[in-house]
Structure 1
Amino acid sequence: MTDRVVHDRITLMGCQVDNLTMQETLGRVERFIASGLPHQHVVVNVDKLVKASRDPGLQQIINDCALVNADGMPVVWASRLLGKPLKERVAGVDLFEALMARAGDKGWRVFLLGAREEVVGKVAELYTRRYPRLVLAGYRNGYWQGAQEAAAVAEQVRASRADLLFVAISSPQKEQFLGQYQAHMQVPFAMGVGGSFDVAIGKVKRAPRWMQRAGLEWFYRFLQEPRRMFRRYFIEDMAFFKLLIKEAFKNRRAGQG
């Protein structure tokens, strides 16, 4: 999390977000890798902003990251409503795909961490076949227990000498794992990728492009797994609107002052 760049950041609901396009983000990552120093990445969406508002530790981890992208059109719309317009959405799944392609072009070393063993194994096979020059530094499932086993996982990643680490475990566990072990692992760029592994192998389908552009990707996801996603989208994430209204009033009072 060293060499943090903050000059083009905005603050949304207590979380700092880099105001970058996809191409600017890729350029930033390339500089991170060239530096050889450890950097942590995170995306923020509605769910992450709500969790961070309730968990100061998670919020601090986000704000300490070297690179923070907005993943989700509602976050981009909120930035515009609050007078801090983000240039565009940089979805984690799209950034993951773009970085794997660039790793294949440049021969970067990649470590895949997370999901079930059969899933991460299929992801490793898929991308090494697609990009013959990609160097697979290693891969491992995302299931471990206790601090001792977590430390062993971190040591495995460190020993792999990876340039890129993609972590597909749930939030806030992935942010906490990276926040605790990134300095030890010494990976130039570590990124949580959510469900990107499942999308990559076709286990989960992404919404059509028009739904992504309209900000309805969450609804497509809900239709795929209504029981699992109902609580998140229709109960837990409703707190986002309270946060938005609160911040809008705070900005208005500050403007009047």
Structure 2
Amino acid sequence: MTSSSSGSFPNSFCGSSDAHPALQPYPAVVNIEGISVTGFPNPQSLFKRIAQDTKAPGQTLVHYLNIHVANAAWMNPALKRCLQTSDLVYCDGAGIVVGAKWLGQTLPTRLTAADWFPDMLSALAEEHCSVYLLGGEPGVPEAAMSKLNQMVPHHSVIEAHHGFILKDPQLENAVIARINACQPDILIVGFGTPLQEQWIAQNRHRLKVSTIYAIGAVMDFMSGKVSRCPRWMGDAGLEWLYRLGTEPKRLLGRYVVGNPWFLSRILLQAALQKIMHRSPSGITTQKPASPVNLNP
């Protein structure tokens, strides 16, 4: 297990001795194939939302949606239920922004955690919310923490562990026990889809944390194991093209087949909305401010 070198961050529930601040209302939520996706104008607004939900009573689940996750959910009903019962699903892909536009709605921008992961951990530290990281191959968390300690010395991570625990029940139980012993406010899980969503659904009742956040392969990017695309490509919605160029064999089907397949389904959803002659079902005006605890 890998511990933060900062050494000064308390292993206590965030805001446990303070009154919870008033939660800000959610912005509009776009319905993408039955999954409610919340649009945030910038990463900082997402950080604030996560901190506020963490300080509220109950356990909060945070997920993201991009085309890959949407396609996986279309084929996997259990995964789709995980996303539908999540307290917060945010937009993590330019294709989701395009899909919302085709439905006549607006998502402000894509929010990809690899772009701002250190900033988020710094912001959570300022909100007195501690974090446990779980994910990546053996050795990846150590490399990620080394870079993180250099980039953001006063971050919020109290410990990290690799994610290769699913085929070893004894190790899995030991890691869950360690997480609970550390008493983090937020558990960040990066196993990749659909493993992370399914693991969270199966184990959330065993985890004594306020927020569980499925985040994908962020530690692979953070450690340098996987390279990031240039910022201009990400801003232009072309990250998929960069990743396809770096891993063509693994990602050819995901992008060359998956992207058109998703967009064709969105066109069908938009057409059905028009046929039904009603206000677009792709939008809900507001979601309750307090997080919902939906036990599986």
Alignment match, 2:217: 195
Which residue of the partner structure matches residue 110 of structure 1? Answer: 131
Once the two structures are overlaid, the 10-residue window that deviates more, 5-14 or 201-210, is 5-14
Answer 1 or 2: higher relative contact order, Cα 8 Å, separation at least 6.
Answer: 2
Tell me what 1:26 maps to: 47
Q: Percent identity?
A: 24
Q: What is the CA RMSD across the aligned residues, in angstroms? A: 2.4
Give unmatched runs, 5+ long, in structure 2.
1-22, 280-296
Distance 2:247 2:254 in 1: 11
Write the distance in 2 (CA, Å) between the matches of 1:148 and 1:14. 37
Q: Unaligned regions of 5+ residues in structure 1, if any?
A: none
Written as runs of structure 1 = structure 2, the 5 A alignment for 1:133-144 is: 133-144=154-165
**Structure-2-length-normalised TM-score:** 0.77
Partner of 2:70: 49
Contact 2:40–2:108 (8 Å) recurs in 1 = yes
Instruction: Check the 8 A contact 2:187/2:213 in 1, yes or no.
Output: yes
The alignment covers a number of residue pairs equal to: 254
Q: What corresponds to 1:165 in structure 2?
A: 187
1:25-78 deviation line (CA, Å, top 9, x unaligned): 122111123236321111100011111112221111112112111111111011
* Counterpart in the other structure of 2:122: 101
Render the CA deviation track for 1:171-213: whole Å, top value 9, x for unaligned: 1010011122223313222222222112212232222222112
In 2, the alpha carbon distance for the partners of 1:192 and 1:7 equals: 21
1:17 is displaced (CA, Å) by 0.6
Which stretch has the larger CA shift, 166-175 or 27-36?
Answer: 27-36
Given candidates 42, 55, 73, the residue that maps to 2:94 is: 73
Residue from 24, 33, 36 that aligns with 1:16: 36
Q: Compared with structure 1, are the counterparts of its residues 227 and 135 closer, same or farther at alpha carbon in structure 2 (3 Å cutoff)?
A: same
In the other structure, the counterpart of 2:266 is: 244
Q: Tell me if the contact between 1:72 and 1:91 (Cα under 8 Å) persists in the aligned partners.
A: yes
Distance, in Å, in 2 between the alignment partners of 1:37 and 1:95 is: 27
CA distance in 1, matches of 2:278, 2:37: 25
Matched, 1:229 2:228: no
**Once the two structures are superposed, what CA deviation does each residue of 1:143-176 show, in whole Å capped at 9, x if it has no partner?**
1216665444333222221122222212101001
Report how far residue 95 of structure 1 moved. 4.8
Task: Give distance in 2, aligned partners of 1:48 and 1:143.
Answer: 21
Aligned to 1:210: 232
CA contact (8 A) 2:118 2:152 kept: no
Give me the whole-angstrom Cα distance separating, in 2, the residues matched to 1:197 and 1:250. Answer: 40
In the alignment, the residues of structure 2 paired with residue 213 and residue 226 of structure 1 have an alpha-carbon distance, to the nearest angstrom, of 21
1:78-118 superposed Cα distances (whole Å, 9 cap, x missing partner): 10110121122121223533321213445532211111121
Whole-angstrom CA distance in 2 between matches of 1:136 and 1:241: 38
User: What amino acid does structure 2 have at the position aligned with 1:165?
Assistant: L
1:14–1:53 Cα contact (<8 Å) kept = no
Deviates more, 1:185-194 or 1:54-63: 185-194
From the two aligned structures, give the one with the greater helix fraction. Answer: 1
